[in-house]
Amino acid sequence: MTDTIISLETVNPIEFFGVNNGKLDLLKKKFPLLKILSRGTQLKISGAPEQIDIAKEKIDLIVQYLQRNGHLSESYFEQIIGGDEAEVVDNFADKNPNDILVFGPNGKTVRARTQNQKKLVHAADRNDIVFAIGPAGTGKTYTAVALAVRALKNKLVKKIILTRPAVEAGESLGFLPGDLKEKIDPYLRPLYDALDDMIPADKLGYYMSTRTIEIAPLAYMRGRTLDNAFIILDEAQNSNDLQLKMFLTRIGANAKAIITGDPTQIDLPRNMKSGLEKASRILKNIDGIAHIELNEEDVVRHKLVKAIIKAYEKEKEKEEPEQGHGSYYRR
């Protein structure tokens, strides 16, 4: 028999224990072989060491969730500790709970899911500017937005700025209905979608209204100095040389930036050259700037997306053999 004391001082004990100790009762029901007592801001757990270890892993997850979100419904509390088998791994965590980047609405967890996505997280933690290059569906934007939201929640930055080139892909902005915002918003929709997965709607609305989170076309960055911010330039392959230089020179004090792009999907006019390849190449060996390449093995969409990317790559190699094998920097 072993006794363990777990401190809950970093969270609201009412949120942890629940109304009339409803959540605590769920915890006791999940671990009937353990004796679990609440003492103010502490839990005392008595029982077999292996059972205590499992319970402690679950409790650590709940504490991490509450630290980031402040509230956890009883149903999601039950999902975190739930399951018929005595396992630590479930929908909310893997063997390393610290891999979780963000806890989103309704108990959703956001994490780096592939090896190269984990490299992107590692690079962003250790560098102020990161280029994340790779094909569609590899989680470049999603992981970058998660890192930005994590930085904001942890008070490492004061604001998030998300930007994209508003490049016309088959339609002229002038012929689209609506005012300028309505014309541009569809180009920025993937950024809104990622944020919706990570921040409750009411809080996201507040952040947007106070400009704590700002989503804007790349052209709107001109002339600004972006301090204390996490900045993401998405779809950077659709920016030209001058635009990319303009963006990179906006970065101010205590700022981080991630530049994402897929050089195989350039929507610029044929007489205009993408600036992504040049920027990535000439900034390759500068301390504080990292370069991460993702590939079809990182695709986290439908399983057929990976096959589609491989098929297009294979066909591209037939069409442009002089460009060599496996290069992303092709038009």
Please write the tens of the pLDDT for every residue from 245-303. Answer: 999 999 999 999 999 999 888 888 888 899 999 999 999 999 999 999 998 888 766 66
Rounded to the nearest angstrom, the gap between the alpha carbon of residue 207 and the centroid of all alpha carbons in its chain is: 17
Q: Select from 109, 217, 105, 204 the least CA-distant residue to 161.
A: 217
Q: Confidence class of residue 201 from pLDDT cuts 50, 70 and 90?
A: confident
**Mean pLDDT confidence for 58-69:** 81
Specify the higher pLDDT residue, 10 or 132: 132
Q: Select from 262, 258, 264 the least CA-distant residue to 291.
A: 258
Q: Confidence class of residue 326 from pLDDT cuts 50, 70 and 90?
A: very low
**Mean pLDDT confidence for 96-110:** 70
- When the pLDDT of each residue in the chain is averaged and rounded to a whole number, the result is 82
Q: Are strands 35-39 and 109-111 parallel, antiparallel or unpaired?
A: unpaired
Q: Confidence class of residue 178 from pLDDT cuts 50, 70 and 90?
A: low
Q: Is the pLDDT of residue 97 over 70?
A: no
d(CA 213, CA 227): 13
Return the pLDDT at 69: 67
Q: Is the pLDDT of residue 177 over 70?
A: no
Do 163 and 220 form a contact (C-beta atoms < 8 A)?
A: yes
Got the DSSP string for 194-243? Answer: HHHHHS-HHHHHHHHHTTSEEEEEGGGGTT--B-SEEEEE-SGGGSBHHH
Domains of the chain: residue spans and CATH: 2-95 (3.30.1370.10), 111-323 (3.40.50.300)
Rounded to the nearest angstrom, the gap between the alpha carbon of residue 97 and the centroid of all alpha carbons in its chain is: 16
> Cβ atoms within 10 A of the Cβ of 180, count?
10
d(CA 226, CA 231): 8
Q: Confidence class of residue 171 from pLDDT cuts 50, 70 and 90?
A: very low
Rounded to the nearest angstrom, the gap between the alpha carbon of residue 136 and the centroid of all alpha carbons in its chain is: 16
List the structure tokens of 124.
């962003």
**Mean pLDDT confidence for 173-189:** 60
**Mean pLDDT confidence for 167-181:** 51
Do 297 and 260 form a contact (C-beta atoms < 8 A)?
A: no
CA distances from 230 to 133, 149, 287 (A): 18, 9, 19
Do 232 and 261 form a contact (C-beta atoms < 8 A)?
A: no
Q: Is the pLDDT of residue 114 over 60?
A: yes
Residue 273 DSSP SS3: coil
d(CA 158, CA 277): 31
Return the pLDDT at 92: 44
- Under 8 Å CB-to-CB from 77, ≥6 apart: which residues? 18, 23, 26, 62
Do 49 and 68 form a contact (C-beta atoms < 8 A)?
A: no
